[in-house]
Amino acid sequence: MINTDYLKNLNKAQKEAVLHLDGPLLIVAGAGSGKTKVLTSRIANLIKNKKAFPNEILAVTFTNKAAKEMQNRVSKILNSSATGLPWLGTFHSICSKLLRKHASAANLNSNFTIVDTDDQIRLIKNICKSENIDIKKLSPRFILAIIDRWKNNGYYPNEVKINRKDVFEKTILPLYRIYQQKLTDLNSCDFGDLILHTVKILENYSDIKKIYSNNFKYILVDEYQDTNFIQSKWLNLLSEKNNNLCCVGDDDQSIYSWRGAEIKNFLEFDKVYKNTKIIRLEENYRSSKNILSVASNLISNNQKRVGKTLTTNMEKGDLVKLNCFKNGKDEAIGISDEIEKKLKKKFSYNNMAILVRAIFQTREFEERFLKIGMPYRIIGGTKFYERAEIKDCVAYLRLIHQEKDDLAFERIINNPKRSIGDSTLKTIHEYSKKNNLSLEKASIKMLEQNLIKPKAKVGLNFFLQALNKWRNDLLIKKISHIKLLQIVLDESGYSGMLKNKKDLDNENRLENIKELLSAMKEFDNLESFLEHVSLATSIDQEWDGEKINMMTMHASKGLEFDVVFLPGWEEGLFPHQKSIEEKGQNGLEEERRLAYVGITRAKKKAIISFSMNRFYQGDWIDSMASRFINELPEQNLEKNSFFDEEVEEVEDFDFNQDFEMEEETRSPGWIRYQKRIK
């Protein structure tokens, strides 16, 4: 039985967005306006009213987490956990699915490997070495950034038009050609290729495009303001037949231009898609009136926006606090004291967050929290599947799955140590290149021809025999992928390597591997698990225990907290000088959008602060309050008494007395610290 209440719980604009089915639709969804509810209700409504079967709906998100939440909500509305949406997922996961079906059109086999950043860097390093490029002058990460930019703009190497103003592009283009050919030879692709290859296939093979454009009766896209050129192109090709493209987003939250997002996709949507219906979701269900007023007033200073007026039925709430400190250390002390006060008022650690513009700002907070024993987490730190021991395990499984995976071969050939040094690996590389063989095949041939040094020969022979045995375990004996990894860890000597050295780091590594084995249980086979690892997104986090949350404002998008601290609102830091220098007015507007995102993460309390001095890159720097502070509405702010004085006259500052109290008498955290050291 379908839950018919889903329409009753929608406001007028939300209901209109759900029920408007025909033609292109742009939903301008303000912060906290319930866009996820609208998207899921729209999908459920399409299925309920038989406008489309689940396999005829394409729903695209930016994260696996968002896709999972959307699936769960649709299932809940339809009262059926069995209502699967086979074409619900991220841009990368859906393109991967399409590409595997039509891999030959991109000169790939269907079991291609998706390489991650570390693999890309190693590959570029190898190419630079062979081409005599000094990586100290031209870093692999920079080279990959340029290649990624070309891919985001839809260019294969033979389609790139060099920007003469860019002194590096002439050098990088030949590297792009070699890199792309190497990926093809390895039967691999990077994340950029997943979408680029798919777009080129749709453009060049009309029969394939016809299949999918006919099939997808309705296309829905979340966070459309974050799309780049190639993603927008992909959507355009797939929506060509039915023209039922519904895009949801907020141009005021477009903050990812540095990774290729183009706000003009959002701003010019109605020009690209004729007869577009635009619906604005302007009722905010998250923030108090004061917080919303501050955010709205700030963002109104931007020129390039679709425009909307956010309202809320929430209580007026506390005024937004504006604090000034002598320096960054005092700012960290002041905020930790404020956190202590909030705890007394029954706010929890988990519902408080410190949002910074640049990651270096966390240092002083971390030092303060460690000193007083305040628990904290950094959101956006090293992710699970990026930990070295996890990447090692996955590399073993990748190579067992596909013998052409040279990047995995390189990572584990001497891990644990097998007396196979860099010189041996170099000779294998040279033989491989000369004879057009994978590194594994080249190693076998070189052993047969006695071209490997005696010491390395023993280790290499053991490794290759073990690989054959493990593949036999998987393919002939049909051992599960979970049991296979356990066997690999034992027989390779990897688990022994970690167990033999008793220290905290290795204990943690062993615990991480145990967690990996647990995670693998959620997948039916090795292929599906490896696919998941390749597509794992950056914002999936573990939220274990009560801790203060610290993250950049970029990482905070999509999250909400009762209390939000926004430190470091100083010129040069926020707005960031580099952003303004590189992008001018566009950069300034994006910085303002970032400020808007930061403020609107707060539900009940927002505290903005800046300091008069900041220790940056080894020097003390005199700071000036951010220009954004002057754009905040006075009537919604609680300023400390020092704001009656001129900001520039540091010596005459009348700092808030709370911040001038003796540390010993001020902080419960300080008391905890004193107890620990006595």
Mean pLDDT of 303-311: 86
Mean pLDDT calculated for residue range 383-409:
89
Q: Is position 180 annotated as part of the catalytic site?
A: no
List, as one string, the DSSP characters of 540-557. Answer: -----SS-EEEEEHHHHT
Please say if the pLDDT value at position 368 is more than 70: yes
Using CA atoms, how far apart are residues 229 and 583, in angstroms rounded to an integer? 18
Which tokens sit at 386?
């990026």
Q: Which of 309, 361, 323 is nearest to 550 (CA)?
A: 361
Q: Is the pLDDT at 80 greater than 70, yes or no?
A: no
Phi-psi region of 84 (alpha: psi -120 to 50; beta: other; left: phi over 0): beta
Give me the pLDDT at residue 618, please.
Answer: 47
Q: Which tokens belong to 200?
A: 């080129």
Cα-Cα-Cα-Cα torsion 18, 19, 24, 25, nearest 10 degrees, comes to: -40
Is there a catalytic annotation at residue 141?
no
Confidence grade of residue 655 (pLDDT, cut at 50, 70, 90): very low
Spatial distance between the Cα atoms of 357 and 574, rounded to a whole number of angstroms? 7
pLDDT of residue 160: 92
Q: pLDDT at residue 539 above 70?
A: no
Does the pLDDT at position 603 exceed 80?
yes
> Which has more confidence, 546 or 564?
564
Helix axis angle for 140-152 and 117-130, nearest 10°, is 110
Residue with tokens 């060049």: 204
How far apart CA 234 and CA 321 sit, in angstroms, is 45
pLDDT reported for residue 647: 43
Can you give the pLDDT at residue 158? 94
pLDDT (0 to 100) of residue 670:
47
User: pTM to 2 decimals?
Assistant: 0.75
Task: Give 32-72 pLDDT, tens digit per residue.
Answer: 888 889 999 999 899 888 899 999 999 999 888 888 888 88
pLDDT, averaged across the chain: 86
Question: What residues form DSSP beta bridges with 356?
Answer: 552
Is there a contact between 178 and 223 (Cβ–Cβ < 8 Å)?
no
Q: Which amino acid is at 255?
A: I
Better-predicted residue by pLDDT, 30 or 232: 232
Predicted confidence band of residue 497 (pLDDT cuts 50, 70, 90): confident
pLDDT at 305 over 60: yes
**Buried b / exposed e along 14-23 (16+ C-beta atoms within 10 A):** bbbbbeebee
- Over 60: is that where the pLDDT of 499 sits? yes
Of the residues 190, 193, 222, 283, which is catalytic? 222
Q: Is the pLDDT of residue 371 over 70?
A: yes
pLDDT higher than 70, residue 538: no
Is pLDDT at 675 greater than 80 in this prediction? no
CB neighbourhood size of 152 (10 A):
19
Task: Report the pLDDT averaged over residues 365-377.
Answer: 84
DSSP 36-74: HHHHHHHHHHHHHTTSS-GGGEEEEESSHHHHHHHHHHH
DSSP 648-665: T-GGG----GGGTS-HHH
Number of Cβ atoms within 10 Å of the Cβ of 516: 20
- One-letter amino acid of 677: I
pLDDT recorded at residue 402: 92
At 68 the pLDDT is 86
Q: Strand (E) positions, 4-154? A: 25-29, 57-61, 88-90, 113-114
Active site residue 36: yes
Q: Which of 557, 556, 575 is closest to 630 using CA atoms? A: 575
Among the listed residues 14, 35, 250, 305, the single catalytic one is 35
Indicate if 42 belongs to the active site: no
pLDDT at 537: 35
- Whether the pLDDT of residue 583 is over 80: the answer is yes
pLDDT tens for 134-165 read 887 788 888 998 999 999 999 999 999 988 77
pLDDT of residue 382: 53
Q: Rg for the chain (alpha carbons), in Å?
A: 28
Residue 27 has pLDDT above 60, yes or no: yes
What SS3 class is residue 571? coil
What would the two tokens of residue 451 be?
Answer: 């071209």
Give kind and range of the element (H or E) at residue 637: strand 637-639
The rounded distance, in Å, linking the Cα atoms of 272 and 268 is 6
Work out the pLDDT band at 277, boundaries 50, 70, 90. Answer: very high
Cis peptide before 454 (omega within 30 of 0): no
Q: Comparing 357 with 367, which gets the higher pLDDT?
A: 357
Tell me the C-alpha distance between 235 and 209, whole Å: 12
The answer to whether residue 222 is catalytic is yes
Residue 298, pLDDT > 90, answer yes
- Catalytic site residue from 223, 251, 337, 389: 223
Active-site residue, selected from the candidate residues 151, 217, 509, 601 = 601
Nearest-angstrom CA–CA distance, 524 and 9: 38
Catalytic residue among 36, 184, 276, 427: 36
* Cα dihedral across residues 299, 301, 304, 310: positive or negative: positive
Identify which of 376, 342, 668 has the alpha carbon closest to the alpha carbon of residue 548.
376
Find out whether 206 and 237 touch, Cβ atoms under 8 Å. no
Q: Regarding predicted confidence, which is higher, 478 or 371?
A: 478
CA atoms within 13 Å, Cβ hemisphere of 568: 28
Question: Considering the chain, what percentage of its residues have pLDDT values greater than 70?
Answer: 89
Q: What's residue 519's pLDDT?
A: 76
- What are the start-end ranges of the H helices in 542-637? 553-556, 577-599
Q: Is 68 a catalytic residue?
A: no
H-helix or E-strand containing 561? strand 561-566
Q: What is the pLDDT of residue 674?
A: 52
Q: Is the pLDDT of residue 102 over 90?
A: yes
Catalytic pick from 253, 361, 552, 600?
253
Q: What is the mean pLDDT of residues 315-339?
A: 92
Q: What is the mean pLDDT of residues 577-601?
A: 92
Q: Give the Cα separation of 447 and 463 in Å (integer).
A: 12
Q: What CA–CA distance (Å, rounded) separates 189 from 102? A: 14
